[in-house]
Structure 1
Amino acid sequence: MATFDDVVRIAESLPDVTMKPAWGNRMWRVHGRGFVWERPLNRTDRAALGDSAPEGEIAAVRVDHELTKIALVESEPDRFFTIPHFDGYDAVLIRLDAIDVPQLRELIVDAWLDRAPTRLAEAYRGEHPAPGDQPA
């Protein structure tokens, strides 16, 4: 189970990240581009979600494509969800009490890589190869 402290720790461990509030909540950015943020549900969100509205801490994270968001929500609806406000937007909401820290880290790093400038992302990938990218 992850917490918002994990979100903060992971986001702030990445290069060139700043935290700047947006819409009254903390948002972490790389070169001015948001990649993960606090996203508590408001009254409209709760009305749209009805009985399925979660009660715990919620984070929003950018994804590389709307199809990625759909795949996450459909494959793991206990962890990921969306709201009408996010329709057409490449981001997914995460129930932090339903996700483990390694999976949260992967999502945040992927979001950071998607939003970071190309050179910065390439440098990071060079220093932190994905398990499948390491030479045999």
Structure 2
Amino acid sequence: MSRKARPEDIDEICMSLPEVELGTSWGDRPTYKVPTGGKGKGFLLHRMPHKTAVDPETGEMYDDLVVIITPTEAEKAALVEDDSTPFFTIDHFRSYNAVLVRQSRLGEITRDELAEVITDAWAHRAPKRLVRQFFGDG
């Protein structure tokens, strides 16, 4: 059985995918990109604390948020609307296909579930050739 996801799994999963590098985007935010080099597109980033994402009980800004790209609006909705997962969205991301998750809540899903969401994000941003190679279709 797959164990519970942990924050350190994010780096392990991202870096296990082909042609991934950890760079920056949105200024200085640590961002996993594919492919390596200048054409890299971000698929997961560590979001800085911001007033658009706060704890509803304390009003404190979340300081452990990760943004993960989703391939479609439907996949975003499926993750956000599933009460058994810690994924959510905010108004700031209303028209953007991505979900947010607090690293402190990753234990609510398994490592395999986290890997699936991250791999989908990677596959959405990666060059088609790379995706075909990774999934064995080419």
TM > 0.5: yes
Take 1:113 and 1:16, find their aligned partners in 2: how far apart are those partners? 11
Residue 12 of structure 2 aligns with an amino acid whose one-letter code is: R
Q: After superposition, where does 1:21-36 map in structure 2 within 5 Å? A: 21-23=24-26, 24-31=28-35, 32-36=40-44
In structure 2, the residue matched to 1:131 is: none
Letter in 1 for 2:80: V
Q: Specify every segment of 5 or more residues in structure 2 that has no aligned partner in the other structure, as ranges.
A: none
Matches within 5 A, 1:1-136: 1-23=4-26, 24-31=28-35, 32-46=40-54, 50-51=56-57, 57-76=64-83, 78-96=85-103, 97=105, 98-126=108-136
Structure 1 51/114 Cα, relative in aligned 2: closer, same or farther at 3 Å? Answer: same
**How large is the RMSD of aligned CA atoms in angstroms?**
2.3
Aligned pair count reads 125
Higher helix proportion: 1
With normalisation by structure 1, the TM-score equals: 0.79
Q: Give the gaps of 5 or more residues in structure 1.
A: 128-136
**Structure 1: which 4+ aligned runs deviate by more than 4 Å?**
52-56
**How many percent of aligned residue pairs carry the same amino acid?**
35
